[in-house]
């Protein structure tokens, strides 16, 4: 399924939920390959890009291995070492009871396109499924939107274990994936 990009998708399904989707930014990992808390370096950029999305209401950052500062609600996950799914579940539990879905955002993706967030949320709103992910070159990527119906089924390995409907976002460029210092975009060096 290919969804249109924009602030709000026109022609929503008749039963589409108009409530804002929350964002859960995963920033809990130890960043061992990077050798330092990369989240501290990248988080402000990711949050800034996320705020440009017209589809996101509440933003929640999940911290774990490191103390972080953020200009968004911050939740510490004591179980972060169990895997990204444990961190995601910590974040999902903290969202308002009436939150219909959550966009899963990685703190190490500083090139996140706000339009990719909007496109994936719009596909979810249009009824694409309870697990909807951006794809780049046919490969699953981020963001991933999880409808509330699947929140309880997130395993320790994270949302990657859930089968998504893919929404092509090739034209927007990937969000990036900073695992090592050499992966940093030049603007961070």
pLDDT, tens digit, for every residue of 30-55?
Answer: 999 999 999 999 999 999 999 999 99
- Asked if 75 and 91 count as a contact pair (C-beta separation under 8 A), the reply is yes
pLDDT band for position 18 (50/70/90)? confident
Domain for residue 187, yes or no? no
Domain for residue 9, yes or no? no
Nearest to 110 by CA among 184, 2, 53, 30: 184
Domain for residue 14, yes or no? no
Backbone angles phi, psi at 49, to 5 degrees: -65, -40
Residues contacting residue 45 through CB under 8 Å, at least 6 positions apart: 110, 188
Which pLDDT belongs to residue 4? 33
Domain for residue 105, yes or no? yes
Boundaries of domain holding 155: 21-182
- Asked if 5 and 55 count as a contact pair (C-beta separation under 8 A), the reply is no
Domain for residue 25, yes or no? yes
| 175 CB-contact burial (10 Å; exposed 0-12 / middle 13-18 / buried 19+) | buried
pLDDT band for position 17 (50/70/90)? confident
Domain for residue 94, yes or no? yes
Nearest to 119 by CA among 169, 46, 163, 174: 169
Domain for residue 10, yes or no? no
Say what percent of the chain tops pLDDT 90: 88
The CATH number that applies at residue 104 is: 3.90.550.10
Domain for residue 128, yes or no? yes
Q: Which helix (H) or strand (E) holds 104?
A: strand 101-106
Report in angstroms the alpha-carbon separations of 8 from 67, 73, 166, 181.
Answer: 35, 24, 19, 36
Furthest CA-CA distance within the chain? 49
**Whole-structure pTM value:** 0.91
The number of domains in the chain is 1
């Amino acid at each position: 399924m290919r969804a249109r990009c924009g602030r709000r998708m026109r022609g929503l399904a008749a039963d589409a939920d108009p409530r804002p989707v929350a964002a859960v930014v995963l920033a809990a990992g130890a960043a061992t390959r990077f050798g330092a808390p990369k989240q501290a370096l990248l988080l402000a950029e990711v949050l800034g890009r996320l705020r440009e999305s017209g589809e996101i209401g509440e933003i929640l950052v999940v911290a774990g291995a490191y103390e972080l500062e953020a200009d968004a609600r911050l939740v510490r996950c004591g179980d972060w070492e169990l895997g990204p799914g444990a961190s995601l579940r910590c974040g999902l539990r903290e969202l308002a009871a009436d939150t219909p879905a959550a966009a899963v955002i990685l703190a190490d993706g500083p090139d996140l396109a706000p339009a990719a967030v909007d496109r994936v949320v719009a596909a979810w709103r249009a009824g694409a499924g309870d697990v909807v992910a951006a794809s780049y070159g046919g490969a699953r990527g981020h963001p991933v939107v999880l409808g509330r119906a699947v929140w309880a089924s997130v395993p320790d390995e994270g949302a990657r274990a859930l089968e998504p409907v893919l929404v092509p976002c090739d034209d927007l460029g990937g969000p990036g994936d900073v695992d090592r210092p050499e992966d940093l975009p030049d603007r961070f060096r």
